[in-house]
Each structure stands twice: as structure tokens, then as C-alpha cells.
């Protein structure tokens, strides 16, 4: 148990982030909940453990994680920002029926684009939308 917290602390320290209780808990949450949670989801879960937690802290901390590459921001839909602790390059599929966001591995890095030869590419995002198998099955008449 303390082992877990020590590991999370170490991760933060390596990024020159002081491992406060709030930061550790937020990092722990996004590591254990890989369903691409929103700020609200994170806040509403952690407030049970940390009754004094402020939503501003969640925003600040996620911004900090984003800038140090401990988390990535997903903006698939313009009305909800989601966070992802898996920072390696991978695709996202959002089901328009149930809202679930699925990860998928795709050969994003080899998506060669001649016309961007002289562009410095720092970040690649692939978002798909449609209907997931569960919802397809459910809506089958």
C-alpha cells in the first residue's frame, strides 16, 4: 500500500513535481481509472477521500501533469475534456451511443505525410467515432 504511494511519489519527483497528497491521489486515480475520466469524475471520486479537495486543485494538477507529459488531454467532443494517463501514441474510438471511449493501437507514427516534411510534429492524435460492438448488438432488431 505504501509501496504504491512511494512509486507514485517517485514518478512525481522524477518530473520535479513535489509529491503532495492531492497530487499523488490524482495521479493514482488516473492511473487506476483508464476510462478517460473528466475533471468532474475525478473530483467527485476523490472528494470522498479528501473532503477538503478543491476543484481548482484538480484543474491545476491536471494542467501540471499535461505539461510534464504525465497525462494527455483528449478533446474528441467540444463539450467534454477528458484525461488519459496513457501517454504513448494511441488512437481513441468514441461510441456515439454509450459514450465509452476505447483505446486502440494504430500505426500512427508511420502515418507518413509528405506535405508536412518541413513541419515540426510534436503530437499526433487519432479520434474515431461510431458505434461500439456492445451497442451494435443491443440495437440489433
Partner DNA sequence: AATAAAATTTATAATCATTATAATATTATT
Partner DNA sequence: AATAATATTATAATGATTATAAATTTTATT
Interacting residues with DNA (CB under 7 A) = 17-18, 20-23, 38-40, 50, 52-57, 59-61, 63, 78-81
CA angle 64/41/86 to nearest 5° reads 50
Asked if residues 31 and 85 have their Cβ atoms less than 8 Å apart, the reply is yes
Q: How far is the CB of 20 from DNA (least distance, A)?
A: 3
* Segment lying near Zn ion (by CB under 5 A), choices 42-50, 61-69, 72-80, 96-104: 96-104
Q: Using CB under 5 A as the criterion, which residues of the chain lie in contact with Mn ion when the complex forms?
A: 84, 86, 103
**What whole-number distance in Å separates Cα of residue 107 and Cα of residue 70?**
22
Partner whose binding site includes residue 103, from DNA, Mn ion, Zn ion, none (CB under 5 to 8 Å by kind):
Mn ion
Q: How far is the CB of 93 from a copy of itself (least distance, A)?
A: 6
Burial of 69 (0-12, 13-18, 19+ CB in 10 A): exposed
Q: How far is the CB of 19 from DNA (least distance, A)?
A: 8
Q: How far is the CB of 61 from DNA (least distance, A)?
A: 6
Asked if residues 55 and 39 have their Cβ atoms less than 8 Å apart, the reply is yes
Asked if residues 27 and 68 have their Cβ atoms less than 8 Å apart, the reply is no
Asked if residues 22 and 57 have their Cβ atoms less than 8 Å apart, the reply is yes
Rank residues 7 and 35 by Cβ distance to a copy of itself and give the closer one: 35
Partner whose binding site includes residue 138, from a copy of itself, DNA, Mn ion, none (CB under 5 to 8 Å by kind):
none
**What whole-number distance in Å separates Cα of residue 9 and Cα of residue 14?**
9
| Contacts to Zn ion by CB under 5 A | 95, 97-98, 132, 135
Amino acid at each position: 500500500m505504501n509501496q504504491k504511494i512511494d512509486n507514485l511519489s517517485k514518478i512525481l519527483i522524477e518530473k520535479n513535481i513535489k509529491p503532495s497528497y492531492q497530487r499523488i491521489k490524482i495521479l493514482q486515480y488516473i492511473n487506476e481509472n483508464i476510462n478517460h475520466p473528466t475533471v468532474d469524475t475525478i473530483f467527485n471520486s476523490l472528494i470522498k477521500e479528501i473532503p477538503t479537495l478543491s476543484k481548482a486543485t484538480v484543474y491545476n494538477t491536471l494542467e501540471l501533469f499535461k505539461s510534464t507529459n504525465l497525462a494527455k488531454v483528449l478533446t474528441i467532443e467540444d463539450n467534454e475534456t477528458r484525461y488519459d494517463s496513457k501517454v504513448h501514441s494511441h488512437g481513441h474510438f468514441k461510441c456515439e451511443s454509450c459514450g465509452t471511449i476505447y483505446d486502440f493501437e494504430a500505426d500512427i507514427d508511420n502515418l507518413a505525410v509528405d506535405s508536412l516534411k518541413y513541419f515540426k510534429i510534436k503530437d499526433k492524435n487519432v479520434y474515431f467515432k461510431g458505434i461500439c460492438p456492445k451497442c451494435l448488438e443491443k440495437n440489433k432488431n
